[in-house]
Structure 1
């Protein structure tokens, strides 16, 4: 028997794990392709939801904006071109109730409402004095009261206003598009030069149907709005937040108070000088099942989940001396990508949180079973399952905490990197690839 000799390992033996690391990185980048395809799927499904929303809105009523009432008085300026002078009310109060419903189109839900509003206030001619227009230039006999309503299709009552003891019925259309393109109007007979005829209180009731959002223009010198509803997920994201707000499991109640100093237009002007919608505010009936936005946030962390999972398996290989074939890495990566398909499809049917839990359990369960078979170790599989559960839980917290997402994500990534760096120090990198071959004869 000849003594054994040491045979130097070949290049591929010495750098096998380094080569596999390069293959894993390339595989991670390749798996971003199906992740990107998932983003396209989310956008396609969201477009279908928008189509369903548009279809329901066209039948029921779209987003509504209420502006008015505004007094429009014909005026012949220096260039002899007919125009209008607009006078806004001294104060405006709007009180009402939103009666919400959910309408369905295929698997998509759309929030619609029936708004019952009571408008009241006072007109005063004082603001006209600032225009320096002679009373004789105003055609008081052809004055109009106008109310802007975004979608006339949603009006469900005959609108009439009581002003100065007289009852005025409104007709569709507006006499001028300087302020808004759609609305209702009624002629107001005022004696020529008698500005006192503008003085007086008004009241009216308005019922409108709409979908998604309702907003108001603060046209009063002081505008007060109070809205109550049984909808439990309102959103207030426009020019002015509510002054008082109550949101609970019974619905919400909100009030606003806006002064003329808070907006960029005066109480009276001539022609199309100001944008009357620049200070609009209101309510959006937020749909908690806006799953596509949440799914889009989740898929942005696909590279993080895939990368960390592959690093964990790679470290297990190095520490346990049990190799996985690159094809097995690819299968694990595809399982991680299928998570997003499950999340999108399930969240279209049920609450997003429950859909996220179901998709996570299915994905993690599949990987646990595969790991147990590949490594022949229930302990390793259980460790993988716990790690992925923590990771998916962390991702869910990030996508739900929209305002603190950057902070939480940065801290989480820092902790994960620190753990990876720590475990990497436990691996004897100088021993990897070394192989002694004993040849005996």
Structure 2
């Protein structure tokens, strides 16, 4: 029994016990991390469910003028053991992008909720004008102007989730004459989803053709443009105050204020790395394969804007859990100093209970944040844990003054953590300074401590 008491009073052994228990608490911390990930996945599923039928993250493209033509295709087959070459007459498509396209989109966002989950959806009004011209050097693309079937031309528009079309039917006019629209045949940038209009493009042989269009659609989270024209100008306005601009092209002009944002892009086909004219002939390169990504993802040759929530509570909780060891380390160090310097016995069970309370903070933070928001949840969870551990420390440390020190330490830690979460760019700097201050304090307080045995007696003056 005496041996046990001696071992328990050894500062090095107590220090090792504190480290061991702190390491054990990594298991519940990782569990909280996994719980946050699971709740985030449930939130994503709920948001997708809320937006179902409304329209997904939208990608728009076009207009694109497609004119069919007939060409000879050579085919080699084996007949009777001999190689036979045949020449067949096949239909191909000549795709012409506009030399100028001016597009304007207005986003009207809306928050939609189901239970404790929320999704940001929007209604978009898009209108624009495009000008098409037949290139003078058409023969270099392997086709002549006389070979084109102008009366079978089509104007194609892309919308990645055509279910989002709503309100008045889309309107497309060619030189002032309105055209009847049909579903499908969107550019490859939108996965073939969209709508098209049949027209007689014979006037294109003599002059440029102007196309005016307007259509309304719904979507959620983001809107992306896959530019095709020789000079694409895209303007987006919205009352949403938290946009995130993404893609290979960022706005040339943008303004963000309390009344929302406006942004303008200008992209040329030289930046896209593609010609204004191509065909679906085997030797040709598709006009729609210049890095475009359908389905809402923003590719290198696209421009997009995302309506982000000002506070992503799961991301905030995730980052706060990563600082869990900082909380445990500082608090355990305070108890250890009271133990080996102040002479107050702190058992392994008491370390474990205090550590459990510190881990419980992150569980409460996640639970309350889903209901009342991150900041309010932080105050509620932090206040509850500070009150609990202060009361428990008063009993463990046999002193209200020492418990007050623990309360002050916890309040300071929670305040610093909130600052770290707000100032992500300086979190490493602040965290390293805190660790340096903690190490310096421990080194100072234990400078005369005999780690292998009982604390050394203070020196006496000669």
- Which secondary structure does the structure 2 equivalent of 1:59 belong to? coil
What is the deviation of 1:72? 1.5
1:399 aligns with 2:421: yes
**Is the Cα–Cα contact under 8 Å of residues 66 and 154 in structure 2 kept in the other structure?**
yes
| Distance change (3 Å), C-alpha of 1:87 and 1:217 | same
1:63 aligns with 2:57: yes
- Which secondary structure does the structure 1 equivalent of 2:185 belong to? coil
What is the deviation of 1:397? 2.5
How many residues align? The count is 425
1:65-84 Cα deviation digits (max 9, x unpaired): 11011112224455355442
- Which secondary structure does the structure 2 equivalent of 1:126 belong to? coil
CA distance in 2, matches of 1:121, 1:155: 21
What is the deviation of 1:222? 1.6
Of 6, 10, 20, which residue of structure 2 is paired with 1:13?
A: 6
Of 31, 35, 39, which residue of structure 2 is paired with 1:37?
A: 31
| Distance change (3 Å), C-alpha of 1:356 and 1:75 | farther
What is the deviation of 1:178? 7.8
Of 39, 50, 68, which residue of structure 1 is paired with 2:44?
A: 50
1:301-359 Cα deviation digits (max 9, x unpaired): 21221122111210121221001111111111010111111111111123322222222
- 1:147 aligned residue: 157
Of 371, 374, 384, which residue of structure 2 is paired with 1:352?
A: 374
Across the aligned residues of Structure 1 and Structure 2, the Cα RMSD in angstroms comes to: 2.5
TM-score of the pair, normalised by structure 1 = 0.89
CA distance in 2, matches of 1:178, 1:344: 39
1:167 aligns with 2:217: no
User: What stretches of structure 2 of length at least 5 have no aligned partner?
Assistant: 74-88, 293-299, 458-462
| Distance change (3 Å), C-alpha of 1:256 and 1:177 | closer
**Is the Cα–Cα contact under 8 Å of residues 131 and 269 in structure 1 kept in the other structure?**
yes
Aligned runs of 1:203-218 on 2, under 5 Å?
A: 203-218=212-227
CA distance in 2, matches of 1:374, 1:198: 91
| Distance change (3 Å), C-alpha of 1:121 and 1:434 | closer
- Which secondary structure does the structure 1 equivalent of 2:179 belong to? strand
CA distance in 1, matches of 2:348, 2:187: 71
1:124 aligns with 2:133: yes
- 2:114 aligned residue: 105
| Distance change (3 Å), C-alpha of 1:267 and 1:289 | same
1:224 aligns with 2:217: no
1:377 aligns with 2:428: no
- 1:6 aligned residue: none
- 1:5 aligned residue: none
TM-score of the pair, normalised by structure 2 = 0.85
Aligned runs of 1:360-375 on 2, under 5 Å?
A: 360-375=382-397
Aligned runs of 1:295-306 on 2, under 5 Å?
A: 295-306=317-328
| Distance change (3 Å), C-alpha of 1:31 and 1:75 | farther
CA distance in 2, matches of 1:139, 1:188: 11
Of 278, 285, 289, which residue of structure 2 is paired with 1:275?
A: 289
CA distance in 1, matches of 2:352, 2:122: 49
CA distance in 2, matches of 1:145, 1:390: 64
1:316 aligns with 2:328: no
Of 347, 355, 378, which residue of structure 2 is paired with 1:333?
A: 355
**Is the Cα–Cα contact under 8 Å of residues 239 and 259 in structure 2 kept in the other structure?**
yes
